[in-house]
Amino acid sequence: MKYIYGPVSSYRLGNSLGIDILSQPEKLCTFGCIYCQLGSKVKYTKERRVYVKTDEILSELTDILPKIKIDHITFSGRGESTLAENLGEAITRIKKMQKKPVVVLTNSTLMNRADVIKELSLADVVIAKLDSISMESLKKINQPDEGIRFCEILESIKNFRKGYQGRFGLQIMLMPKNKDEAEDLAKLALEILPDEVQLGTPLRKSPVMSLSEEEVFKIKRLFLGLPVVTVYDRKHCKIKPISREETLKRRGG
């Protein structure tokens, strides 16, 4: 398998089969998050193009799906999946060939584009990232590519959420550098009103220290009135990926 990895055990999605629709040697992203489990090297780009042909992804899926048990099929991997111009086409064709819900994890930076909004709307589940509360904290935590503005990201998330018919998750990565902003993050989450808030902290290998279970649960209580799940809430079951090496490349260890 060149483009498909996992399945992995996810606290949010159960057994999730990953699709890396970028599958480039270097991480391609609009962010260079300080906690990124794929390492600090990033090739910044905002250009949408086809990196892997949809036919090639479908051919791998056709081979693997009869052999595994999964709960979701998730677009994620070495970078920002919405950079793939064929994301919408891939979602549509995957939904036609099988019945498991299709998920896209996004860092929310391209959600201001009409084409991206249209393509994301085809997914059963969209999980959008929001780790910061201002331009200053965006720079500190997510190290965005030039021209990316915090207020635009926030507006895009709110607009998308309003029009989206599927299940909308808001993922927030907590770490020492943003834990004091948790109260403001909770206020923003209340304005967005996602179906679920997902509170993570880097538990896999990361340059950033994780918060303890106690700290994350304390923060969880700030999100009053919203359904919240944290990385410490659900037990991870051991699940064997198709290829450990390909999975490590996309998720870190």
User: What is the binding site for ligand SF4 (CB under 6 A)?
Assistant: 27, 29, 31-33, 36, 38, 42, 79-80, 107
Q: Which is nearer to ligand SF4, 207 or 227 (CB)?
A: 207
Q: In b/e form, how buried is each residue of 8-27, taking b as 16+ CB within 10 angstroms? A: bbbbbbbbbbbbbbbbeeeb
CB of 27 to ligand SF4, least distance (A): 6
CB of 66 to ligand SF4, least distance (A): 30
- At residue 150, φ and ψ (nearest 5 deg) are -60, -45
CA angle at 41 for the pair 36 and 46, rounded to the nearest 5°: 85
Q: Which is nearer to ligand SF4, 107 or 247 (CB)?
A: 107
- In the DSSP assignment, the letter for residue 224 is T
CB of 62 to ligand SF4, least distance (A): 27
Give the CA distances from residue 90 to residues 122, 201, 232, 250, in Å, rounded to whole numbers and listed in that order: 10, 30, 32, 19
CB of 16 to ligand SF4, least distance (A): 16
Q: Which is nearer to ligand SF4, 49 or 221 (CB)?
A: 49
Q: Which is nearer to ligand SF4, 139 or 162 (CB)?
A: 139
Of residues 89, 62, 64, the one with CA closest to residue 75 = 89
97 C-beta neighbours (distance < 10 Å), count? 10
CB of 10 to ligand SF4, least distance (A): 15
What is residue 94's three-state secondary structure?
helix
Q: Which is nearer to ligand SF4, 42 or 138 (CB)?
A: 42
CB of 67 to ligand SF4, least distance (A): 28
Q: Which is nearer to ligand SF4, 81 or 230 (CB)?
A: 81
Give the CA distances from residue 32 to residues 96, 109, 125, 139, 250, in Å, rounded to whole numbers and listed in that order: 34, 12, 24, 9, 15
